[in-house]
Structure 1
């Protein structure tokens, strides 16, 4: 993979009416811009190529997603209509952009060293991340948005699928409603699950559409969880983190899992 091929992939995947591409050969930067407004996002093609050599297609999918989401937020083409019941928190990686464009930051909160909480307005088949401009346009109070979003995520159903591997129990939430990873913010649910855990409670949110809860009863369980998290992370359309978390004293702590050893970050 080289910059020329990567640029072609991005231009093909991101091409839509009303968009144009500007390429800086010296910097290997590709800018995707709305023709009408002149607003856009610049991505380092050279940087994506470097990530591709480490993560292959997952690096492309992650970058494409971030760009599309940012461009949609800039476009403001979809009117916001409805009630607060359509506002939800979503989990993103700590490297996710904090603003779609200069001077218009997203509403977000720090979560763990690996994850961050953003807020979104559900529009049916998609959702729009809430940013400063949208807050001002709708007259929304950031504190109210945070409170309502957390209430709404606690109201979501939590169907669990269970699997046993090498004496360990793994629970999966995978409804594909866009908020599977967000259910990690339902602390009441996590505390309830903890009462059912016989071993050590660990979790993973490798991508947006899955939450893994593990009842780790032996060292092999850590290895299995790490493999699961990496597999989901590489396959997910919206990767979050391949790291896992311990749930202790009501808090999440990222952990590295190396072979049969584990260490807190």
Structure 2
């Protein structure tokens, strides 16, 4: 895999500007050196990019993860939802799968910590309030104001996602037998998070020979397939690994499976092309 040329600070700033412009709700954006200014949903924000650029220089291959962390920091400046009652917002709460590194970035920016729960393979489940053109991350200050627990947020977020997911036409199904594929690629921001819907995924598993294998290479893609054919398994696994690196909002090259209603890491012996599960 070819090394990408290292961005200088000005090029990095250009990438950040382009990314912010995609968020929606950004106005009056300008940059002076490593300081960026804009209005976010009507609120004036000044952000120093030096911390994020230094993180990029240390680990250039983590550019996408760093940009995601910057997005989370920006979203934390969204209009304060803490003043609204939980009952007014709960139907718009959804889960998102994110790299665990996002927590460190938020902490280093001295922002309220996100509400989250650990997932697997250096990933976390965090929670957002779905807005017309963006999302607002739920942080610990919200929980104090609302008087609810993280377990309540998780249960409601997953229930909301299930209702959204079970609408007709959300899943793509193609092929038959050991070549059957199940895909969520709706670009609604929650495709990878659909791995949390173990009841829905278990229904997929019942239609396949062998074990159900899952991949979430980035935020906007979930694929399910059979491990009955080792050649197909290896081919799709390699594609997942490539996509996790090159696609926006990259998450994981890991394979997953469902056992007795639990999400587990799928262990695969690449040297022998044989299943361990």
Does residue 188 in structure 1 map to residue 196 in structure 2?
no
Instruction: Give the superposition deviation at 1:20.
Output: 6.2
Does residue 6 in structure 1 map to residue 18 in structure 2?
no
Q: Distance in 1 between matches of 2:237 and 2:99?
A: 17
Give runs of aligned pairs for residues 124-163 of structure 1, distance below 5 A. 124-137=132-145, 140-158=148-166, 159-163=170-174
1:27 matched to which residue of 2?
none
1:120 matched to which residue of 2?
128
| Structure 1: tracts of 5 or more residues without a match | 24-30
| Contact 2:92-2:130 at 8 Å conserved across structures | yes
| Contact 2:213-2:257 at 8 Å conserved across structures | yes
Q: Please give the secondary structure, in 1, of the residue aligned with 2:51.
A: strand
Q: Which moved more, 1:223-232 or 1:252-261?
A: 252-261
- TM-score, normalised by the number of residues in structure 2: 0.74
Tell which has more relative contact order, 1 or 2 (C-alpha 8 A, sep 6+). 1
Q: What is the count of residue pairs matched by the alignment?
A: 251
Q: Please give the secondary structure, in 2, of the residue aligned with 1:188.
A: helix
Distance 1:92 1:262, change over 3 A: farther
Q: Distance in 1 between matches of 2:259 and 2:71?
A: 36
Distance 1:100 1:19, change over 3 A: farther
1:84 matched to which residue of 2?
90
Q: Distance in 2 between matches of 1:20 and 1:182?
A: 34
Does residue 60 in structure 1 map to residue 63 in structure 2?
yes
Q: Deviations over 1:7-38 (max 9, x none)?
A: 11222233475776676xxxxxxx76889777
Considering fraction of residues, name the structure with more strand. 1
Instruction: Give the superposition deviation at 1:131.
Output: 0.7
Q: Distance in 2 between matches of 1:78 and 1:106?
A: 14
- TM-score, normalised by the number of residues in structure 1: 0.77
Considering fraction of residues, name the structure with more helix. 2
Aligned counterpart for 2:72 among listed residues 69, 74, 77 = 69
Instruction: Give the superposition deviation at 1:40.
Output: 5.5
Instruction: Give the superposition deviation at 1:155.
Output: 0.9
Distance 1:71 1:154, change over 3 A: same
RMSD between aligned residues? 3.4
